[in-house]
Amino acid sequence: MTEPEPRWIVAANVVLWRRYGPLGQELRPGTKAYKGGSKVFVASAHVGMGHEQLTTIGRGRHTGRWITIDTATRHLYGFRAKLVYTPAVLRRYDQVTWWPVRTEEEAVEYAERLECIAAEQRASYHVGPHPDPCRCHECLSRG
Cβ atoms 136, 27 nearer than 8 A:
yes
Tens digits of per-residue pLDDT, 37-96?
999 999 988 766 777 899 999 999 999 999 999 999 999 999 999 999 999 999 999 999
Per-residue model confidence (pLDDT) at position 48: 67
What is the distance between the alpha carbons of residues 17 and 37, in angstroms, rounded to a whole number? 9
What is the distance between the alpha carbons of residues 130 and 117, in angstroms, rounded to a whole number? 20
Higher pLDDT, 128 or 116: 116
Distance between start and end Cα atoms, the chain: 49
Tens digits of per-residue pLDDT, 16-38?
988 888 877 788 889 999 999 99
As a whole number, mean pLDDT of residues 9-22 equals 90
Evaluate if residue 143 carries a pLDDT over 70.
Answer: no
Bridge partners of residue 45, in order along the sequence: 54
Return all residues near 59 (Cβ < 8 A) that are at least 6 apart.
Answer: 34, 38, 65, 66, 67
Domain parsing of the chain, residue ranges:
7-142
